[in-house]
Amino acid sequence: MRAVPITMRFSVRSYEPATEEHVRPQPGGTLLAEAHRVSGPLGMRSRRLVAGPTRGVRARATHLALLGLA
């Protein structure tokens, strides 16, 4: 098995969901595969990403500094 290069970009901001982008080029440089992913907290009833998740975390967390929200 040989190693293949994969480029990954990752972004996290306290006011929006985390996003990831994976890009895998062929040895000649042409694009072989590309994948995008969005992740964040889901609403229990709506089963959709929660808008402004830091509000809910701030209301429940006791040590905001540990989460980078202080």
Say what the pLDDT of residue 10 is. Answer: 59
Say what the pLDDT of residue 16 is. Answer: 65
Say what the pLDDT of residue 11 is. Answer: 62
pTM of full prediction above 0.75:
no
Sheet of 16-25, strand order: 7-13, 16-25, 31-39
Map out the domains of the chain as residue ranges.
Answer: 7-67
Print pLDDT tens along the chain (70 aa): 566 666 666 566 655 677 788 888 888 888 888 888 887 788 888 888 887 777 777 787 888 787 776 7
Q: How many residues does the chain have?
A: 70
Q: How far apart are CA 22 and CA 29, in angstroms?
A: 15
Say what the pLDDT of residue 3 is. Answer: 63
**Displacement of CA 15 from its chain's centroid (Å):** 12
